Each structure stands twice: as structure tokens, then as C-alpha cells.
Structure 1
């Protein structure tokens, strides 16, 4: 079990590493494209696993809540863009799924959210502020759907912090 030791997730206050990943086989999305709004990064192990499917479906259902905070939601796993496309269509997902596919897990590794022994992403969540600084990060046990409450709580606290600092 030695090689399964988990890395440290990037902590609040750290600037989120920029990345550009495929969102479809012929389109990419970079973190920089989303700057200026809050961003929710949801790293997850695999498209078709039951817990991941439920987790992404839940985020799809609560998209209106995320939008109240002007937050962009992005799912990231090591699946290919083709796999993501089929999964998103089947699940009717209305937010991008990014393929951390080649080199495998490179972005997840930068965030401390890659499981080397298994070759999949951790079930890890990050909320970034408008300047791309990590405000909140959380790792869930791989078999547990972390839900949306932690994200919504972090977005609420972030909005209150920005409002109290004169930013709206």
C-alpha cells in the first residue's frame, strides 16, 4: 500500500496552477478562460463509476445554485474527451468535463489530487476566487460522494468575504 500514499492537496491561499485541457475532442478550455468569476474544480476518478455519476449528476442539478454565486463548475478526470462526451450526453450534463488524459493526470498532480498507484484522480474539490486563488479545498474518500454542501458553503463564505472587502 506504500505507493498509494496520498499527496497533499493544494491549500487555500495558493494560486491555482493554470492548465489547458480538452473539453471535447477538438476544443480546449483553460483555467485562464474562466478568470473573473468563482470556479469550482471537481476532480473525480472515472466517468462511468456509480459514485462519480451520482456526484456529477448532483452538480448538474444544483447548477442554478452555483450560478447564483456566478461560479463556473468544471469536472476533471483522466478519461478521454471522447469518453467525457458520451458520459455528458448520457447524463445530460451542462458543465464542461475536462480530460486530464495526456500526459495522464498531469493537472491533477499539480493540485495534489492524483492517485499514482491507481492512475486516477482523487475525489477532490477546489473553490477558486475571481483571481484564481484557492479559497477552499477538500478531499473525499474515493468511495464517497462529497455532495455539494461544502462547495455551496465555501462559495457563500467567499462571496461574503469579497463583499466585505468592497468587491461585488
Structure 2
């Protein structure tokens, strides 16, 4: 399964940091900002999460739910949420099945080492459950504002 703009978003069910089980299709009727990030507590991921935190009310105002997904387990997500006061759910994709469905599980290189990991990406899913916008290889600076602007302009 791949992600296609204008087509239904690949559905999934994952456990959230608060112990709830979240199924994407149950969020129809709301805009969903689905962002994939590599790892809790790392500099870029912390900046991105805090940017979403700081704009959380603005996303609420446009009927948007923010969901963060990484391969980290639920317990680590909960520590991340508590440490930075994140007001949205983080979902544990420990077997990276959802990351693969959204084609963000990629071969990466860092300091000469190759490994599989998350390519930082964001998807906007509209109230009908269709993917309407995607950003891949996201640069953190200014990204959250760009995602919010997109939803405001395309409601």
C-alpha cells in the first residue's frame, strides 16, 4: 500500500502514550496531522514536537488532531510527553508497519553507517479520511507553521 494524494489514508491501529488504542479511521470528521519522526528525546524531534505543542490550540481551532508516530515504545513516548508537556498523542509503531505503509521507513546513513529508520514526514488527512498533503524529508524549522497554514487555507 502506498500513499496517494486525494486517496484514502492507509488505516491503522496503534497504541498511544496514554494507553489508548487509536484507529485512524475513527477520526473521520476531523483534519489529522500525522507526523512521523525518528526518535523521542533527540534534538530535531524534540524541536518538532515542541513546535506542534506551541501551536496546538491553533490546530484545535481548525478542527485538527495532531498524532506523532515513531518506532519508540509507549513508555518512552510517555516520558517524552511528560518531559515536554506535549498535549497530543504519540503512537508506538514498534514494528514500523505503519511507517512502511506510508513509505517513510527508509535506508538512512549517518556517520558512515547505514540503517533503517524513519524519514521525517508529515501527512495532512482531511475530514473525509483522504491524504491531501504530504511533506517528506521535512526540515523542522518553519514546518509546523507551514502545516497549519495549509489546513487554514484548505478547509
Query: TM-score category by the smaller chain?
Result: 0.7 to 0.9
Gaps spanning 5+ residues in structure 1: where?
1-8, 160-168
Secondary structure in 1 aligned to 2:154? helix
Q: CA deviation at 1:51?
A: 0.4
Q: State whether structure 2 residue 75 is matched by structure 1 residue 82.
A: yes
Give the match's secondary structure for 1:119.
strand
Q: Report the TM-score, using the length of structure 2 for normalisation.
A: 0.88
Does residue 52 (structure 1) correspond to residue 52 (structure 2)? The answer is no
Report the secondary structure of 2:68's partner residue. strand
Deviation at 1:127, TM superposition (A): 0.5
TM-score, with structure 1 as normaliser: 0.81
Q: How many Å apart are 1:153 and its aligned residue? A: 2.2
Q: Which stretches in structure 2 are left out of the alignment for 5+ residues?
A: 109-114
Give matches, 1:129-168, under 5 Å: 129-141=126-138, 144-146=139-141, 147-159=143-155
Structure with the higher fraction of residues in strand conformation: 2
> What are the Cα deviations for residues 95-131 of structure 1, in whole angstroms up to 9, with x where unaligned?
0000001xx2110110111124533221100001101
The CA RMSD over aligned residues, in Å, is: 1.6
How many residues end up aligned between the 2 structures? 147
* Large movers: runs of 4+ above 4 Å: none
Cα 1:59–1:26 change in 2 (3 A) is closer
The counterpart of 2:34, out of the listed 34, 38, 41, is 41
Equivalent pair of 1:45/1:122 in contact (CA under 8 Å): yes
